[in-house]
Structure 1
Amino acid sequence: MSPTQKRIALVDANNFYVSCERVFRPDLIGKPVAVLSNNDGCIVSRSQELKDLGVKMAVPAFQIQHLVEQHNIQLLSSNYGLYADLSARVMSVLEAFSPSLEIYSIDEAFLDFTDLYPCEKDPIAYGKQIKRTVQQYTGIPVCVGMGPTKTLAKLANFAAKKWKQTGGVLDLSDPKRQEKLMRIVPVNEVWGIGRQTNSKLNQFGIHTVWDLAQQAPQKIQQQFSIVVARTVMELNGIACLELEEIAPDKQQIVCSRTFSRRLTTLQELMSAMAEFASRAAEKLRQQHSVASGVTIFIRTNVFAEHERQYQRSASVKLDTPSQDTRVILAAVHRLLEVIFKPGYGYYKCGVQLSDIQAQTAPGQIDLFDWVDNDLPTENRPLMQAVDQINRRFPKGIAIATTKIDQTWKPRADRISQRYTTDWRELMTVYCR
């Protein structure tokens, strides 16, 4: 490997949600385990034992009841607080292995190993050291893939997970090893190649990763897109995607949920909307932003054909961009009063914040804007105090409207304890 060539690594946790549950439930190790989505609906994480039974991702839980009883499959509700906390711990460990780290998702991170002496000396040994350290410090198993580009690192990670003989670590810096792997891996396993793109590639006779890598980027851009053209270049070792060490601010923030039961009254919907507005505003403050666009939507279940159907959305532009929960909630309340229609069983609702900008950006006032004096006045110190209290205490504080009715919340009948984020639910250890 030349000194100027990059070496990017992707560290990816194995079956992350299931692995988080197993950290505090070692009795689940070696058993088929599934973590379910909101309302305990569909499978969102599978243990290897469950995959070996042929159970696919996103399958509704009720469809595999016969397998649950036959193979004693353990079904668990999602515990997102636990997963987020363990993810932060994994990322904290990884920071010690590279000066440049991009947190790509809750269970994945890219690291730049270019010219890093311990890795240059023996990449595989360095990757195995990362595996051991993360496992020792957090209990989460990971695999490590390395290559000259992010796309090749992703491909290496895929192979490290699929073939046990790699030991969970694979370096694709050698062109001969790249070609050997690319010739046997289907093109749909390439990062960013979705179902529709894969189908179209197959029509052009491109079935393996090697087939795609041999294409001319200009031709691929004409037939597909610049994104696929960049993928071709990345597969050939030409880096087009840089590490994003600082995550870009979100341009839209959406909070929505399906309900555990049908909601029929304005008060019930307002309670749910209030919680979503509060969460959205909190996320806005976390990235030090303000928003001027507020949109809400309500809908019935389109799949329940025997039920009356209704869905509506509404938007408003705030006269002054805000991050204050009270301001956003007041706008949400008014919009809901406009679009709510009695006589329907509502299945889902949500809040979206848009027109987002940095809180330090100067506001531009429109000469013809109508100022709504009934909206609360922006109070950032108050919101900061609320956020600090909520971070410190599990129950926290909230706008009163969110506490009126909590029966709409998604089902979580099989949820585990919040072992790391709630003093009342810490692991209990007995000594004999």
Structure 2
Amino acid sequence: MYALVDAVSFYASAEKVFDPSIRNKPVVVLTNNDGCICAVCPIARRLGIPKFKPYFQIKYFLEKHGVVVRSSNYELYADLSERMMNVMARYCDNQYIYSIDESFLAFKNYGSMINDWHKYGHEIRKAIWKETRLPVGVGFGTTPTLAKAANHAAKKLTGFNGVAVIGDNQSRMEILKRMCVTDVWGIGNRLGKKLNLLGINTAEQLAQQSAKDMRKQFSVVVERTVNELNGIACLSWDEIKAPKKEIFSTRSFGQRITDHQALMFALVTHGAIVAKKLRQQQSLVKRLLIFAASSPHDNQYYKKSLIYEFPLATNSSSQIASAIGLVLQEIFQSGVYFYRCGVGAIALQDQQYQQPDLFAPTQPSPLIMKCFDGVNHRYGQGTMTLASEGKAERWQMRRHFLSPQYTSSWRDIPKISC
């Protein structure tokens, strides 16, 4: 048996965890630079507020209905996600974190110990709510795709109270016939339109197709999906999640920048983020991509990117910052209103198997970066930074409605008066 546990409107729900005053109010969360609505809580959804609508177009509607608006608080979301994943990991013997707010669970050795999957699902929901105050939906199925379908039913179909189980043919057909074909995991809108032309409009109709015919007409992915909908497990995940092959940090500016120093601050900050992620997965970068650009909507669009190759692969924040400083003069151009920049590690190596070079320049001690990360982990991200990251906020992302970083900043820790 498999399960998919998925948070309900995760970003919006996370905003309510440490702020009880808004738990019974409609809440929406905005994307980078407060551009569009990316998360809508169930209360706000009843007002008909659509996702990905530009904020400026719906601003007065939100004010009229008393909707609470929040900027994306990524630091808070990442911490709550980790807590949620740790809770659900206790209820299975294998977990695959699919995204920031959803995770697949497998029960290879639990099947004989669990007599009532509905009851078990509610235990998982109660534990997550008790320890994180996040509402989740739980779907069980005999394949990952059926678990995903059950999760859809648990959250969006009537007759289910946050938990759905597809454990036999009757429950499978009951749920699949109520699902649109585009609600099936792996069937997007474009593929869904092609299936609609063939008279396949529901998940049940897709499950009734010949898997081999679906492969001939579409792909092996659709063939596997059909088999999975019929209870034949075809999809799996690695026991250990593979490290990323590329790591990027990019973002548009909250305000255009035109001076050399501000661009340097921004690029070095992105470089520090990339370096931290490299150290987290014990990787080194051999080749670094550095770029900056104006807006494509400007009259004269400007974009420049360069690749810096390290003599010896590294994950040192200071070395990456030095590399950025060496190429910045070639990227910067006077008179350009820079809108976006970023840094990418595009050629990674495993730190464990690095071959040192006897004649290469002396490398910084790994203990320096270990101490650097340790200080930031203990006292909050940003406690210790590189001097070349600067302190200017002008290039930072616009987040006018940002909530406190309750779990990752000492100054924002909730205060309780007895």
How far the C-alpha of 1:19 sits from its partner, in A, is: 1.2
What secondary structure sits across from 2:159 in the alignment?
A: helix
1:345-379 CA-to-partner distances (Å, cap 9, x unmatched) read 111111110121210124498xxxxx986xx7343
Residue 411 of structure 2 is aligned to residue 424 of structure 1: yes
CA change 1:221–1:317 in 2 (3 A) is farther
Which residue of 1 is the match for residue 156 of structure 2? 162
Which residue of 2 is the match for residue 309 of structure 1? 301
What secondary structure sits across from 1:134 in the alignment?
A: helix
Q: Distance in 2 between matches of 1:334 and 1:206?
A: 57
How far the C-alpha of 1:391 sits from its partner, in A, is: 0.9
Unaligned regions of 5+ residues in structure 2, if any? none
**AA of the residue aligned to 1:313:** S
Q: Work out which of the residue numbers 151, 162, 165 in structure 1 matches 2:145.
A: 151
> Does the CA contact (< 8 Å) of 2:321 and 2:388 recur in 1?
no
Which residue of 1 is the match for residue 363 of structure 2? 377
**AA of the residue aligned to 1:424:** R
CA RMSD in angstroms comes to: 2.0
Residue 327 of structure 2 is aligned to residue 339 of structure 1: no
Q: Distance in 1 between matches of 2:189 and 2:75?
A: 31
Q: Work out which of the residue numbers 394, 403, 412 in structure 1 matches 2:390.
A: 403
CA change 1:331–1:423 in 2 (3 A) is closer
Matches within 5 A, 1:6-21: 7-21=1-15
Q: Distance in 2 between matches of 1:94 and 1:173?
A: 20
How far the C-alpha of 1:113 sits from its partner, in A, is: 2.4
Q: Work out which of the residue numbers 289, 295, 298 in structure 1 matches 2:283.
A: 289
> Does the CA contact (< 8 Å) of 2:93 and 2:110 recur in 1?
no
CA change 1:262–1:78 in 2 (3 A) is same
Which residue of 2 is the match for residue 368 of structure 1? none
Which residue of 2 is the match for residue 188 of structure 1? 182
Which residue of 2 is the match for residue 200 of structure 1? 194
Matches within 5 A, 1:15-414: 15-117=9-111, 120-303=114-297, 305=298, 307-363=299-355, 377-394=363-380, 395-414=382-401
How far the C-alpha of 1:120 sits from its partner, in A, is: 3.2
Aligned residues: 416
Q: Distance in 2 between matches of 1:278 and 1:69?
A: 38
Identity %: 38
CA change 1:104–1:80 in 2 (3 A) is same
> Does the CA contact (< 8 Å) of 1:386 and 1:397 recur in 2?
yes
**AA of the residue aligned to 1:168:** G
Unaligned regions of 5+ residues in structure 1, if any? 1-6, 366-370
> Does the CA contact (< 8 Å) of 1:293 and 1:315 recur in 2?
yes
What secondary structure sits across from 2:90 in the alignment?
A: helix
How far the C-alpha of 1:422 sits from its partner, in A, is: 2.2
How far the C-alpha of 1:117 sits from its partner, in A, is: 5.0
How far the C-alpha of 1:405 sits from its partner, in A, is: 2.6
> Does the CA contact (< 8 Å) of 1:101 and 1:243 recur in 2?
no
> Does the CA contact (< 8 Å) of 2:93 and 2:108 recur in 1?
no
What secondary structure sits across from 1:293 in the alignment?
A: strand
How far the C-alpha of 1:239 sits from its partner, in A, is: 1.3
How far the C-alpha of 1:225 sits from its partner, in A, is: 2.3
CA change 1:230–1:117 in 2 (3 A) is closer
What secondary structure sits across from 2:240 in the alignment?
A: coil
1:193-248 CA-to-partner distances (Å, cap 9, x unmatched) read 22222222223332211222222333322332222222222111111222444321
Q: Work out which of the residue numbers 415, 422, 431 in structure 1 matches 2:402.
A: 415
CA change 1:119–1:297 in 2 (3 A) is farther
Structure 1-normalised TM-score?
0.91
How far the C-alpha of 1:416 sits from its partner, in A, is: 1.3
Q: Distance in 2 between matches of 1:163 and 1:184?
A: 8
Q: Distance in 1 between matches of 2:363 and 2:219?
A: 47
How far the C-alpha of 1:164 sits from its partner, in A, is: 4.5
Q: Distance in 2 between matches of 1:69 and 1:347?
A: 29
What secondary structure sits across from 1:417 in the alignment?
A: coil
What secondary structure sits across from 1:255 in the alignment?
A: strand
How far the C-alpha of 1:423 sits from its partner, in A, is: 2.5
Q: Distance in 2 between matches of 1:332 and 1:233?
A: 50
Q: Distance in 2 between matches of 1:296 and 1:217?
A: 45
Q: Distance in 2 between matches of 1:142 and 1:173?
A: 20
**AA of the residue aligned to 2:346:** S
Q: Distance in 1 between matches of 2:411 and 2:326?
A: 38
Structure 2-normalised TM-score?
0.94
Q: Distance in 1 between matches of 2:333 and 2:25?
A: 48
Q: Distance in 2 between matches of 1:126 and 1:312?
A: 54
> Does the CA contact (< 8 Å) of 2:125 and 2:135 recur in 1?
yes
How far the C-alpha of 1:127 sits from its partner, in A, is: 0.5
> Does the CA contact (< 8 Å) of 1:261 and 1:347 recur in 2?
yes
> Does the CA contact (< 8 Å) of 2:316 and 2:364 recur in 1?
yes
> Does the CA contact (< 8 Å) of 1:271 and 1:403 recur in 2?
yes
